[in-house]
Structure 1
Amino acid sequence: MQDDRRSSPCNYTLIILSEIMDLHDAICPKCGGPSKDGSLCGKCLTGEIPWYVCEPRVFITRCGGCGSIKTSAGWGDSSREREDLEEDAAISAIKFHQDVKKPSISVKLDHLSINRTYADLELSGTLYDENLEGYCSLEIVWQNESCDRCNRQHGNYYEGVVQIRADGRKATTEEQEESQRIAVQVETEMQNDGERLSFITRFDEGREGLDIVVGSQAIGEQISREITKRLGGRFSLHPTLVGEKNGQKLYRITYAVRLPKLQRGDVIAVRNTYGEILHQENKTFTYLDLKTGIPRTIPESTPSRFVANVRDAAVFSVIYQDSGIIGILDPESGKTEEISRVSWRHPEVGDSVRILRDSERTIVV
């Protein structure tokens, strides 16, 4: 059966008009090409707006002292190659339109001098379903500036002093040298963790011990903790008000490190035997019983007598053994003597042993 509405001249005219209107809505008003909704097509839209902006010049700021690089976030240590830094700087000079999809940048560098480089950039991306390609050329300028850390170091800036002293004695050369090694290690670890201003300003050696002048309170406390952890003893903090900045009080802190009265390697007479100090912490110390080879921990108040340090021991050669007796030879004098064998040591003929003297007694350490 034929549809009467379709055959009606009036209805037919309306259908034709509707189709003409749909065709008109799908045409770009500028170029007459196809358009999804009758507005500007993708090609015309991309021609109306810049799909990227390229800065003609970018700067890289480098510290001439330590090589640090300055960014919008501040100074930072960098071990990256020059080309990598320049490529990042060139890419940062490009700003794509917010609707660009799948943006891509290819960089080619041309070094003109130590402080200037030209970069040629090839760009691509998709905007409103149109694949686009572009080209940009810019200049990269290197400029030197002293960083925050170098400024402070060159000005002898400091926020604290770590004082290395010993309880009832002078800190030995070995203790001071070990303290310096510990301090440098702490400095390296903290700066590797990003604490740029945690640096050592200088070492001052005096009659009473070593002073470590530091650029931040954080490194001062960490050095103090690490030294007392490895060498024993304790430390205390003594702040001094030095001024104000932006309404905040500024303090310099003295970290008073007190190494123990007995240091590692000291040999003492204690409880009818001899012991070699291994460690002292708080109010106790641990020693190696040189008769049994067993470590023992006792209160600091336990009566004891200092004999010597193992560094002072003389080296003797074992020339014979007989039951519980060992014959040793002094290589300097050529004299021999016999000593009792220590149960936990088993030197063989030809080996060396270290000997300390306590009056008439011989101590094997």
Structure 2
Amino acid sequence: EATGDRNAFVTEISRTDDGVNVKVSTTNIGKKIAAKLIEEFGGSYSDSETLVTEDEDGEEVYRVTYAVRLPPYSPGEIIDLHGDDGGPVLVRSVRGNLKGTRLTTGEDYEAGFEEGDAPDARRLGHVEDAEETTLVTVEDERAVQVLDPETYRSKTVARPDYMDPDAESVPVLKSRAGLHVVPEQDDGEG
């Protein structure tokens, strides 16, 4: 639609065990959709040609398939890396390799080349699942006390460097990995 190509349209959309199958009218639009998905969400794509038929002039007609592989994690997810005791990571980007922020310290995390955008990890939740809770006291550079949003008991947790020590309340996520202060989310207003 953006290119003004009148022959570019979606002919069929169906679900398969492998994901969503979208049939489009031209090879060009298929390639552009695959590239745009990768630009937006990370991952990679591959293409393959299949001989379908010959037209009336004897020219071979091919169908081109673009397979898009999206990364297993997306920005905003909070993951716990297997075999890594540095604490949970808030995923910021999955373009190329996974990049994020450690919830315990606020330090940057970047997956190694071999792991790419899919390090071995388990999902703990999403930053949008965080709940506001009262900041009781700042103990030192590395620890604060907050109210547990479920039990309302005071609990000492790691103090990441992105946390405002003068705040009255902070967003926290309670998961299998414990209670962690997450970064304030920019709601896009203002």
TM-score range, shorter chain: 0.7 to 0.9
Aligned residues of 2:170 and 2:181 also touching (Cα < 8 A) = no
In the other structure, the counterpart of 2:52 is 242
The question of 1:259 aligning with 2:70 is answered yes
- 1:313–1:252 CA distance, 2 compared to 1 (3 A): same
Supply the AA of the counterpart residue of 1:261. P
Question: Percent identity between the aligned chains?
Answer: 21
Aligned residues of 1:318 and 1:352 also touching (Cα < 8 A) = yes
Structure 1 segment 100-119 matched on structure 2, within 5 A? none
Corresponding residue pairs, total? 170
Question: What SS class does the counterpart of residue 98 from structure 2 fall into?
Answer: strand
Aligned residues of 2:172 and 2:179 also touching (Cα < 8 A) = no
CA distance in 2, matches of 1:259, 1:225: 12
The offset of 1:265, in angstroms, is 2.8
CA distance in 2, matches of 1:250, 1:295: 50
The question of 1:233 aligning with 2:43 is answered yes
The correspondence for 2:13, drawn from 203, 220, 225, is 203
Flag structure 2 segments of 5+ consecutive residues without an equivalent: 183-190
Highest RCO, 1 vs 2 (Cα 8 Å, sep ≥ 6) = 2
The question of 1:298 aligning with 2:114 is answered no
In the other structure, the counterpart of 1:355 is 173
- 1:199–1:275 CA distance, 2 compared to 1 (3 A): same
CA distance in 1, matches of 2:172, 2:13: 35
In the other structure, the counterpart of 1:43 is none
In the other structure, the counterpart of 1:313 is 129
Structure 1 segment 58-207 matched on structure 2, within 5 A? 188-191=1-4, 195-207=5-17
In the other structure, the counterpart of 1:275 is 89
Aligned residues of 2:137 and 2:145 also touching (Cα < 8 A) = yes
- 1:201–1:236 CA distance, 2 compared to 1 (3 A): same
- 1:300–1:269 CA distance, 2 compared to 1 (3 A): farther
- 1:319–1:263 CA distance, 2 compared to 1 (3 A): closer
- 1:354–1:322 CA distance, 2 compared to 1 (3 A): closer
- 1:272–1:190 CA distance, 2 compared to 1 (3 A): same
The offset of 1:352, in angstroms, is 4.4
The Cα offsets for residues 298-322 of structure 1, whole Å up to 9 and x where unpaired, read as 3253564223231573413225324
The correspondence for 1:328, drawn from 147, 157, 161, is 147
Poorly superposed stretches of 4+, deviation over 6 Å: none
The structure with the largest helix share of the pair is 1
The correspondence for 1:342, drawn from 160, 172, 179, is 160
Supply the AA of the counterpart residue of 1:355. L
Question: What SS class does the counterpart of residue 219 from structure 1 fall into?
Answer: helix
CA RMSD of aligned residues (A): 2.6
The offset of 1:295, in angstroms, is 3.3
Supply the AA of the counterpart residue of 1:328. L
Q: Which has the larger radius of gyration?
A: 1
The Cα offsets for residues 189-229 of structure 1, whole Å up to 9 and x where unpaired, read as 122xxx11122223323444222221111110011011111
Supply the AA of the counterpart residue of 2:100. Y
- 1:268–1:238 CA distance, 2 compared to 1 (3 A): same
